[in-house]
């Protein structure tokens, strides 16, 4: 097996398409070298090495060592230096690189190959002793931390103490001799911590670093990240060994990170930060505040330090040309790392940049308009789940703001929550339904779970490319970073801004668009649905086949859904209408009646109210089809349960308390989910469904008379298991329609169909379709009944099941294609063979889940139905499923 692939130095064995084998970083380094860009040469140990390592009891393949030696020799040739050679030392970086980028999760070691001899050699060769020992001390600290497990604070304390003793405030004030003595102290400290000398042999260093990268694949934080992002452990990571270039060789050297467009807003124009006389990690770690890449950015931020465009015009121009080349080549926004060594530009990384939902949308639409990608491609570029962020409120610009302080607008969106300072606590509180804002001096990979649990994040330190900013943008959490006026006191659980103190548990609001932190809960406004969003939706609508409907029963929800582009109602749950204050008394009266007459009298009171509900919905929905489900839950749900509630209800309604109590006891079931509900109620209490059918048809006739358009009702009978149930109820409903037509002279337009939510119904679909004019897959109940799993009780063990890999995903969130999905396929096939034009849709929670929507497209359903806020997500997902 070929375990090692070389890149740069004239010929690259890999390319961008080999990301699975070489990891994202390695594949793109090879690709950039192939494009003729200046990439320091190196080689990549493949992800297969990682998999083999873990499959084989953490031992490397036999032939690996030889291949690494050969690649190293080739690298020495390409650079004209030798690894471990005191007179002309080659230094390398050892960098991890998984298939999917995992920012900050895996560790990198720079300046590897240094020891007392090679450091002297580097000093002579470069003519810069200060640089050589600055590199050496960085190496000892990084290697000790990443590979040997010595905490970096050990070294920071030494450096801080040294600076105090000498009255230095900045690292740049240290002289060559200062660094030499720091290095000695570092080595002594490492030896003390380790109980043995810091390794001086470059080969030992190299294999130590390689082992650390593979080892970091299985750390808790890497596992957490993989779990949150659905990355399988079996992918493994690659390791890149690359010749060092130095951004810390004085004032003509620099290092930086950049995006080819603004990753926060999507605006065109380069975007990035750089540091003079520094190495890569400095920019991200927030040790020094980085400077702006461009003049435009500097002006916008009001920064006084010179931009790279001003300070290093030649390197900047070269860099800008590389940006354009890379963006055209990858036809996507790139996230880039570069270093300038004594005026010479080197490219160290490129990848498709992470971006906010807003930026993803703008970049996709802009690139399609620029002709860089097609409109279909643009539709594919936006993650439907991410779109969610754009559909939620932002701060009302007109609302009053009690501005506490401001920082950098690191990740947009607005959020309110109570202040917490600890990631574990943030997670705990979020679990119990609290909205929290995580406040940290800065974040590290250990905070990922807390950031995920929080509504938003505030950091006191760090730039636009700091850990907090990058991770928050990826997660879609609003974030204000580098709010420098905030003084956090973790021990006292509070922070101060000047004289104002904000305590743990107090409510604050952050505005990721402006970088403001506000006291209290601020007013939010509805999202903007025109502009780029509108354009993308038009392209998505053109590409999709399935219709998108909504699950809604209130006029407000119907209006929201129509605004979001719903093409009908897929599920109107009529029981919600039974609970309204003006009719719950009549509903209870109906339930208490001992005979049909009594029930009819009570239902007569409900009829006009229910008719009015439907009329309101039809007015909003126009001629869009509306699937209305007749009463579904067991009657027991409408009765008071506790003695106290019974007394209250008795008092309010004048119904006798003892009767209420007796009836409630009477109706109680041990398994209500499988009990007297759905069409079983319709069969035993015909008058209930007859009233509901009448309310629907009369409302249709009335609205048609009033408006001239013809509402389309799809009357849905729930929980059918036997074809006869549907046959009987269909005849009754059709009878009501006929009666209403005769009485009113109108002609309600309707279909009668059923919900497929029991395995038996799915299997009997062929016969059921003889009467059903449509099927709607009620996948919530179908999942419950197929798994024999109660959604309300599964929470207690479901997470354990998922962790153990027994279930791959929560089947109530993502449709179980293998089992439940098979029933859906069977029902669709059998139903359509009886009735070729049978309408098929889905109305479970899955109707708004992109992966489930993909399944619905595959299965040939006519529509999906989801909650109003998910309608645009479903429109996009349905388009992607088709493309």
- 242 contributes a contact to ligand ADP by CB under 6 A: yes
Task: Give the nearest distance from C-beta 719 to Mg ion in angstroms.
Answer: 6
Binding track over 744-773 against Mg ion, x by CB under 5 A: -------------x----------------
Q: Phi first, then psi: what are they for 568, rounded to 5°?
A: 160, 175
Task: Give the nearest distance from C-beta 95 to ligand ADP in angstroms.
Answer: 3
Stretch that binds Mg ion, among 3-11, 520-528, 697-705, 781-789 (CB under 5 A): 781-789
**Cβ count within 10 A of residue 844:** 27
Among 108, 315, 375, 754, binds ligand ADP (CB under 6 A): 108
Cα–chain-centroid distance for residue 472? 10
Tell me whether residue 322 or residue 864 sits nearer to ligand ADP (CB atom).
322
Q: Phi first, then psi: what are they for 183, rounded to 5°?
A: -60, -45
User: What pairing do the DSSP bridges indicate for beta strands 436-440 and 547-551?
Assistant: unpaired
Q: Which of 449, 452, 467, 846 is catalytic?
A: 467
Residue 108 binds which entry of Mg ion, ligand ADP, none, with Cβ cut-offs from 5 to 8 Å by kind?
Answer: ligand ADP
- 9 contributes a contact to ligand ADP by CB under 6 A: no
Residue tagged 């409120």 (tokens): 393
β-pair partners for 479: 411, 457
- 349 contributes a contact to ligand ADP by CB under 6 A: yes
Among 9, 40, 236, 711, binds ligand ADP (CB under 6 A): 40
Q: From CA 346, how far away is CA 186, in angstroms rounded? A: 30
Among 28, 67, 349, 754, binds Mg ion (CB under 5 A): 349
Catalytic residue check, 452: no
Among 121, 412, 778, 844, binds Mg ion (CB under 5 A): 778
Among 89, 208, 280, 633, binds ligand ADP (CB under 6 A): 280
In 3D, which of 453, 452, 472 has the Cα closest to residue 515?
472
Burial string for 611-650 (b: 16+ CB within 10 Å, else e) reads bebbbebbbbbeebbbbbbbbbbbbbebbbeeeeebeebb
Q: From CA 713, how far away is CA 692, in angstroms rounded? A: 12
Stretch that binds ligand ADP, among 148-156, 242-250, 259-267, 382-390 (CB under 6 A): 242-250
Q: From CA 384, how far away is CA 878, in angstroms rounded? A: 10
- Applying CB under 6 A, what is the total number of residues that bind ligand ADP? 16
Q: Which of 50, 843, 856, 866 is catalytic?
A: 843
Are 588 and 655 contacting, i.e. CB atoms less than 8 angstroms apart?
A: yes
- 723 contributes a contact to Mg ion by CB under 5 A: no
Task: Give the nearest distance from C-beta 360 to ligand ADP in angstroms.
Answer: 21
Q: Phi first, then psi: what are they for 482, rounded to 5°?
A: 55, 35
Task: Give the nearest distance from C-beta 111 to ligand ADP in angstroms.
Answer: 9
Tell me whether residue 335 or residue 698 sits nearer to ligand ADP (CB atom).
335
Q: Phi first, then psi: what are they for 177, rounded to 5°?
A: -65, -35
β-pair partners for 519: 508
Catalytic residue check, 843: yes
Task: Give the nearest distance from C-beta 283 to ligand ADP in angstroms.
Answer: 6
Q: Which region holds residue 704: left if phi is over 0, alpha if psi is between -120 and 50, else beta?
A: alpha
Residue 629 in marked binding region? yes
Among 19, 95, 129, 599, binds ligand ADP (CB under 6 A): 95
Q: How far lies 593's CA from each of 560, 632, 655, in Å?
A: 39, 19, 11
Tell me whether residue 776 or residue 880 sits nearer to Mg ion (CB atom).
776
Q: From CA 14, how far away is CA 8, in angstroms rounded? A: 10
- 42 contributes a contact to Mg ion by CB under 5 A: no
End-to-end CA gap in the chain: 37
In 3D, which of 738, 735, 747 has the Cα closest to residue 701?
747
Burial of 834 (0-12, 13-18, 19+ CB in 10 A): middle
Residue tagged 């493994």 (tokens): 236
As separate numbers, helices (DSSP H) first and strands (DSSP E) second, the chain gives 36, 33
Task: Give the nearest distance from C-beta 633 to Mg ion in angstroms.
Answer: 9
- 337 contributes a contact to ligand ADP by CB under 6 A: yes
Task: Give the nearest distance from C-beta 81 to ligand ADP in angstroms.
Answer: 13
> What is the token pair recorded at 464?
């636009």
Tell me whether residue 104 or residue 407 sits nearer to ligand ADP (CB atom).
104
Q: Phi first, then psi: what are they for 868, rounded to 5°?
A: -55, -45
Among 55, 69, 281, 643, binds ligand ADP (CB under 6 A): 281
> What is the token pair recorded at 681?
């109620």
Q: From CA 202, how far away is CA 115, in angstroms rounded? A: 8
Cα–chain-centroid distance for residue 16? 25
Task: Give the nearest distance from C-beta 229 to Mg ion in angstroms.
Answer: 17
Binding track over 139-178 against ligand ADP, x by CB under 6 A: ----------------------------------------
Stretch that binds ligand ADP, among 104-112, 267-275, 292-300, 622-630 (CB under 6 A): 104-112
Residue 778 binds which entry of Mg ion, ligand ADP, none, with Cβ cut-offs from 5 to 8 Å by kind?
Answer: Mg ion
Among 31, 134, 273, 781, binds Mg ion (CB under 5 A): 781
Site residues (vs Mg ion, CB under 5 A) = 349, 757, 778, 781
Kindly list the catalytic residues.
467, 843
Site residues (vs ligand ADP, CB under 6 A) = 40, 93, 95, 104, 108, 110, 242-245, 280-281, 337, 339, 348-349
Q: State the binding site for substrate.
A: 573, 629, 757, 778-781
């Amino acid at each position: 097996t070929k375990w090692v692939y070389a890149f740069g130095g004239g010929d690259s064995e890999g390319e961008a398409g080999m990301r699975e084998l070489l990891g994202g970083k390695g594949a793109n380094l090879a690709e950039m070298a192939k494009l003729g860009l200046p990439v320091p040469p190196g080689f990549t140990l493949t992800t297969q090495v990682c998999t083999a390592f873990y499959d084989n009891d953490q031992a490397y393949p036999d032939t690996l060592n030889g291949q690494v030696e050969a690649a190293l020799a080739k690298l020495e040739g390409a650079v004209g230096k030798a690894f471990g050679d005191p007179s002309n030392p080659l230094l390398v970086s050892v960098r991890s690189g998984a298939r999917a980028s995992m920012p900050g999760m895996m560790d990198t070691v720079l300046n590897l190959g240094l020891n007392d001899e090679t450091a002297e050699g580097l000093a002579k060769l470069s003519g810069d002793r200060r640089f050589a020992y600055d590199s050496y001390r960085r190496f000892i600290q990084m290697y000790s931390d990443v590979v040997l497990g010595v905490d970096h604070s050990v070294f920071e304390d030494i450096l801080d103490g040294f600076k105090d003793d000498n009255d230095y405030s900045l690292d740049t004030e240290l002289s060559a001799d200062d660094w030499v003595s720091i290095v000695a102290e570092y080595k002594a400290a490492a030896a003390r911590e380790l109980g043995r000398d810091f390794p001086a042999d470059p080969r030992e260093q190299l294999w130590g670093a390689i082992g650390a990268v593979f080892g970091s694949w299985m750390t808790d934080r890497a596992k957490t990240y993989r779990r949150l992002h659905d990355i399988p452990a079996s992918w493994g990571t690659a390791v890149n060994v690359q010749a060092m270039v130095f951004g810390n060789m004085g004032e003509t050297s620099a290092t930086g990170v950049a995006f080819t467009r603004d990753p926060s807003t999507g605006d065109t124009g380069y975007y990035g930060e750089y540091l003079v006389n520094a190495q890569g990690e400095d920019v991200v770690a927030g040790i020094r505040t980085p400077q702006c890449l461009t003049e435009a950015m500097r002006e916008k931020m009001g920064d006084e330090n010179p931009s790279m465009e001003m300070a290093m015009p030649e390197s900047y121009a070269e860099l800008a040309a590389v940006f354009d080349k890379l963006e055209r080549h990858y036809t996507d926004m790139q996230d880039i790392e570069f270093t300038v060594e004594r005026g010479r530009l080197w490219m160290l990384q490129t990848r498709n940049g992470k971006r906010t939902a807003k930026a993803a949308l703008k970049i996709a639409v802009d690139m399609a308009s620029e002709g860089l990608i097609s409109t279909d491609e643009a539709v594919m570029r936006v993650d439907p789940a991410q779109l969610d962020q754009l559909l939620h409120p932002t701060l009302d610009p007109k609302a009053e703001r009690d501005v506490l302080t401001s920082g950098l607008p690191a990740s947009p969106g607005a959020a309110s929550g109570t202040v917490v300072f600890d990631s574990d606590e943030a997670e705990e509180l979020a679990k119990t339904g609290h909205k929290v804002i995580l406040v940290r001096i800065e974040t590290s990979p250990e905070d990922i779970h807390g950031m995920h649990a929080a509504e938003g994040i505030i950091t006191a330190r760090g730039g636009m490319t700091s850990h907090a900013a990058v991770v928050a943008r990826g997660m879609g959490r609003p974030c204000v970073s580098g709010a420098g006026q905030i003084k956090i006191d973790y021990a006292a659980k509070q922070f101060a801004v000047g004289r104002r103190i904000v305590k743990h548990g107090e409510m604050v609001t952050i505005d990721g668009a402006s970088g403001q932190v506000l006291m209290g809960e601020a007013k939010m406004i509805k999202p903007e649905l025109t502009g780029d969003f509108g354009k993308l939706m038009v392209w998505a609508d053109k590409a999709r086949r399935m219709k998108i409907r909504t699950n809604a029963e209130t006029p407000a929800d119907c209006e929201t859904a129509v605004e979001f582009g719903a093409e009908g109602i897929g599920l109107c749950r009529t029981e919600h209408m039974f609970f309204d204050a003006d009719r719950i008394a009549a509903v209870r009266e109906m339930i208490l009646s001992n005979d049909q007459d009594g029930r009819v009298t009570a239902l007569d009171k409900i009829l006009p109210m229910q008719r009015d509900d439907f009329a309101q919905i039809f007015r909003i929905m126009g001629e869009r089809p509306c699937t209305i489900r007749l009463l579904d839950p067991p009657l027991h749900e409408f009765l008071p349960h506790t003695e106290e509630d019974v007394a209250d209800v008795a008092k309010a309604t004048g119904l006798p308390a003892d009767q209420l109590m007796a009836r409630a006891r009477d109706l109680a079931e041990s398994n209500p989910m499988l009990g007297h509900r759905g069409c079983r109620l319709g069969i035993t209490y015909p008058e209930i469904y007859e009233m509901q059918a009448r309310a629907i048809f009369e409302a249709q006739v009335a609205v048609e008379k009033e408006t001239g358009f013809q509402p389309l009702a799809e009357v849905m009978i729930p929980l059918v298991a036997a074809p006869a149930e549907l046959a009987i109820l269909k005849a009754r409903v059709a009878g009501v329609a006929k009666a209403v037509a005769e009485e009113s002279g109108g002609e309600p337009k309707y279909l009668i169909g059923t919900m497929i939510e029991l395995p038996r119904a799915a299997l009997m679909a062929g016969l059921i379709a003889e009467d059903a004019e449509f099927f709607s897959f009620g996948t919530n109940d179908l999942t419950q009944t197929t798994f024999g799993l109660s959604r309300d009780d599964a929470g207690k063990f479901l997470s354990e099941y998922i962790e153990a890999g027994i279930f791959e995903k929560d089947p109530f969130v993502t449709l179980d294609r293998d089992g439940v999905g098979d029933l859906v396929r069977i029902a669709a096939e059998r139903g359509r063979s009886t009735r070729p034009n049978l309408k098929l849709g889905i109305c479970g929670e899955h109707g708004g889940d992109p992966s489930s929507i993909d399944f619905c497209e595959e299965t040939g359903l006519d529509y999906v139905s989801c909650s109003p806020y998910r309608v645009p997500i479903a429109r996009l997902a349905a388009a992607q499923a088709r493309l």
